[in-house]
Amino acid sequence: MRIQILTIFPELFGPFLATSLVGRAIEKGLLEVRVLDLRDFTEDRHRSVDDEPYGGGGGMVMTAPPWLKAVRAAAEADSRGEIRPWRILLSPQGSRLDEAKVRELAERGAERGLILMCGRYEAIDERVRRTVVDEEVSIGDYVLSGGELPAMVLVEAISRQVPGVVKLAGSVEQDSFRAGLLDHPHYTRPPVVEGMAVPEVLTSGDHAAIRRWREREALRATREKRPDLLEQALEQALEQAPEQARRQVRLTPEQRRELERLERERCEPAEAGLHSDSEIENNGGNVPQAGSASLRGES
């Protein structure tokens, strides 16, 4: 996949593109990233890219001509016949980035390449947006000083979707949000950390029990940390809206039963046999194990 980045701070990208997963993807030729300096497309001696806003007011506005020239040059460099790269302006006004959007952009990128436009200053001249931008993308509802960090976020998230970049295909499949649910907790050596032991089931060698534990813990984590995701998932599962369900989660009947059980636990902890927070703490952070009261009848 080819990604071109337009910025007035190309030096920000050096270490990012040379390091870790993105660095390796570039080294292996799975990803090609080209960083272009917007100032190379200016025509004045000072290589200026901004000016005062018409109508007055504070802040400077990025001028249109360097942007138009730069985006067109980048598009020409990576056009495949009639198909030109998808042009994305990073902006707090864009549609909010989530996992579904990342996958959509990864598909577009694979088909036609991407151009990422990093704005700075107060704004970019509106005529840039109207002529050479296909889509505005925001990484969240807060304002940064420029689009460079958002562009890095996008490059890293998209590169994880490029086949071969993440070693185990399963880890992308299991990433938090992949199925609309958060990930289950993970443990590694040593077996005991400050009195907290690894849940027994994970060292039992019983793969079916481990899978059930992970599904249950993914639901539990989602319910506790992001109940909004679960609500969305349930609504969609109930409505069976195929188009949206494809982008979000489809709970399996087993997951739905598990969720109902978790809900019962929450409403009637004693009856359902759920350990209280302090009990869980005393239990070294372990969750109830197969065979404990709360899981009986499950396996």
Tell me, residue by residue from 166 to 205, as one string, x for binding to ligand ADE by CB under 6 A and - for no binding. ----------------------------------------
Query: Which residue stretch of 28-36, 78-86, 138-146, 247-255 sits at the interface with ligand ADE (rule: CB under 6 A)?
Result: 138-146
Q: Active site residue: 84, 87, 108, 160, which one?
A: 160
Measured CA to CA, the distance from residue 35 to residue 220 in angstroms comes to: 42
* Residue 292: partners with Cβ closer than 8 Å, 6 or more residues away: 273
> Applying CB under 6 A, does 7 fall inside the site for ligand ADE?
no
Q: How far apart are CA 217 and CA 70, in angstroms?
A: 48
CA–CA separation, 227 and 224 (whole Å): 6
DSSP string over 216-277: HHHHHHHHHH-HHHHHHHHHHHHHT-HHHHHHS----HHHHHHHHHHHHHHHSHHHHTPPPH
Q: Of the two residues 154 and 209, which places its CB atom closer to ligand ADE in the complex?
A: 154
Give the number of residues in contact with ligand ADE, rule: CB under 6 A.
11
Binding part of the chain for ligand ADE, among 86-94, 181-189, 241-249, 251-259 by CB under 6 A, reads 86-94
Residues 6+ apart with CB under 8 A from 192: 198, 284
Instruction: Give me the catalytic one of 53, 92, 185, 269.
Output: 92
**Residue 92 falls in the annotated catalytic set:** yes
Residue 9 or residue 187: which is nearer to ligand ADE going by CB?
9
For position 90 contacting ligand ADE by CB under 6 A, the verdict is: yes
Under rule CB under 6 A, residue 109 binds ligand ADE: no
Question: Which of 11, 45, 56, 142 forms a contact with ligand ADE (CB under 6 A)?
Answer: 142
Contact 100, 179 (CB under 8 A): no
Stretch that binds ligand ADE, among 9-17, 144-152, 181-189, 212-220 (CB under 6 A): 144-152
Instruction: Answer yes or no: 160 catalytic.
Output: yes
Q: Which is nearer to ligand ADE, 143 or 168 (CB)?
A: 143
**Three-state SS string across 151-168, please?**
HHHHHHHHHCCCCCCCCC
Give CA–CA dist 121/49, Å, rounded: 10
Of these, 73, 144, 198, 272, which contacts ligand ADE (CB under 6 A)? 144
User: What is the Cα–Cα distance from 245 to 235, expressed in whole angstroms?
Assistant: 9
The number of residues in the chain equals 299
Q: Which is nearer to ligand ADE, 146 or 269 (CB)?
A: 146
Amino acid at residue number 159: S
| Among 4, 7, 63, 138, contact with ligand ADE (rule: CB under 6 A) | 138
Question: Which residues are at the interface with ligand ADE (CB under 6 A)?
Answer: 90-92, 138-140, 142-144, 147, 150
Where in the sequence numbering do the catalytic residues fall?
Answer: 92, 122, 160, 175
